[in-house]
Amino acid sequence: MPLYRLNFRDGLLDTRTPPDALPKAMIDQIKTLPVGAPIIVLLHGYNYSPYRKLANPHRHILSYHPDPHSWKAISWPRHMGFGRGRQAEGLCLAVGWNAMGGLRVAYDRAELTGQSLAKIIDQIHEIAPDRSINILAHSLGARVALSVLPALNKGRISRIILLAGAEFCQTAAAALDCPAGRETEVINITSRENDIFDFMFEWHLGRARLRGFSIAVGQKGRLENWVDFQMDNPMQQNKIWQAGYKLADTGGRVCHWSTYLRGGVFPFYNAMLRHQELLHFERLRNIAITRPDYRWSKLVPRINLQNFVGNLASRP
């Protein structure tokens, strides 16, 4: 099945058709999808733009054939099961938006993009009301994905997977406090390898922590339709392995892209979006660990104060 590119400029769908209107070829394709075939929306993060040649996500992670010169350029569509020529693959919507410039500017633009993307999802739902629509988003794409929900009616989005998401816990919870948000299951993929990037995001946009922490710390069971997975935690990796999906251990300390570069993650993401009956939400809750590693654990080992004092006392 084809890969469709949708680009948003200044919060509006960038096409030759009227603003926020779906291309006719896509409408025809949606109508002919076989029963059970999903529609999966892919959202990139910060420092990409379809209007910058070297930063174009459609030449990078949103392409079937990414730029081979970039070490982090892997094909999300292919890893999500598209491009094999089978109708049952469903439809892949690769969304490009202008995430360049200052972080605060891109953060605000992400919300506008999400609101416009909601109009597209509404149109898709009108064409195929029984079709499962899911979202996979990385970094600042998480804000785009969550900003979609308040602008939708309930039942539009089935699941959202957030990879190292750049959004605040309070803002995310508010986005889910709406008819569409309460019926959407959110899988929050985190990693302590991303701690530096999460801290910079909080420091730059949090205004002295008035907005609290980013979703990297998780929602800790506060939301019924939200579950956290810390993918670099050995116990978490073992539980995912027991569920049938083996993850590689990168051994890295700092990496903003490990949530999609880590070996074995895409079969797990694919199963969560394509086979929700097998990985239903209650099972995901059982797979997720309840006590993630503390922040900075990749860079600063935790000191056992009792042993430390005891060792000092035992010295001659």
The model's pLDDT over 168-197, given as tens digits with 9 standing for 90+, comes to 999 999 999 999 999 999 999 999 999 999
CA distances to 116, 160, 182, 278 from 154, in Å: 17, 14, 8, 23
Q: What is the pLDDT of residue 22?
A: 77
Pairing of strands 133-138, 39-43: parallel
- With a pLDDT cut of 90, the percent of the chain lying above it is 71
pLDDT in tens, 246-259: 999 877 899 999 99
- Please state whether beta strands 91-97 and 3-9 pair in parallel, antiparallel, or not at all (unpaired): parallel
Domain boundaries, the chain: 3-314
Range list of H helices, the chain: 24-31, 76-79, 103-127, 141-148, 169-176, 179-182, 195-205, 234-242, 258-261, 265-274, 281-287, 305-314
pLDDT of residue 306: 47
What's the confidence (pLDDT) of residue 18?
Answer: 55
Summarised one tens digit per residue, pLDDT across range 41-89 is 999 999 999 999 999 999 999 999 998 888 889 999 999 999 988 888 9
Starting at the edge strand that comes first in sequence, how are the strands of the sheet with 185-190 ordered? 12-13, 3-9, 91-97, 39-43, 133-138, 159-163, 185-190, 226-230
Question: How many whole angstroms separate alpha carbon 162 and alpha carbon 141?
Answer: 8
**Between β-strands 3-9 and 12-13, what pairing exists: parallel, antiparallel or unpaired?**
antiparallel
Output the CA angle 8-99-194, nearest 5 degrees: 135
Say yes or no to pLDDT of 16 above 60: no
Helices 195-205 and 103-127: crossing angle in degrees, nearest 10, is: 100
Q: In the predicted model, what is the mean pLDDT of residues 248-277?
A: 93
Q: Which of 106, 7, 20 is nearest to 51 (CA)?
A: 7
Query: pLDDT at residue 35 above 80?
Result: yes
Round to whole Å and give the CA distance between 197 and 139: 10
pLDDT tens, residue by residue, 193-211: 999 999 999 999 976 556 7
Question: What are residue 162's DSSP bridge partners?
Answer: 137, 188
Bridge-based pairing state of the strands 133-138 and 12-13:
unpaired
Secondary structure (DSSP) of 67-112: -TT-TT---HHHHTT-SSS-GGG-EEEEEEE---S-HHHHHHHHHH
Is the pLDDT at 314 greater than 80? The verdict is no
Instruction: Give the SS3 label for residue 134.
Output: strand
The two tokens of residue 10 are 């200044």
Confidence grade of residue 308 (pLDDT, cut at 50, 70, 90): very low
Residue in 6, 286, 42, 1 with CA at minimum distance from that of residue 163:
42
Fold of 3-314: Rossmann fold (3.40.50)
Q: Please check the confidence at residue 12 and state whether its pLDDT lies above 60.
A: yes
The per-residue pLDDT of the chain, averaged, comes to 90
Tell me how far apart the alpha carbons of residues 122 and 128 are, in angstroms, rounded to a whole number: 10
CA–CA separation, 124 vs 195, rounded Å?
37
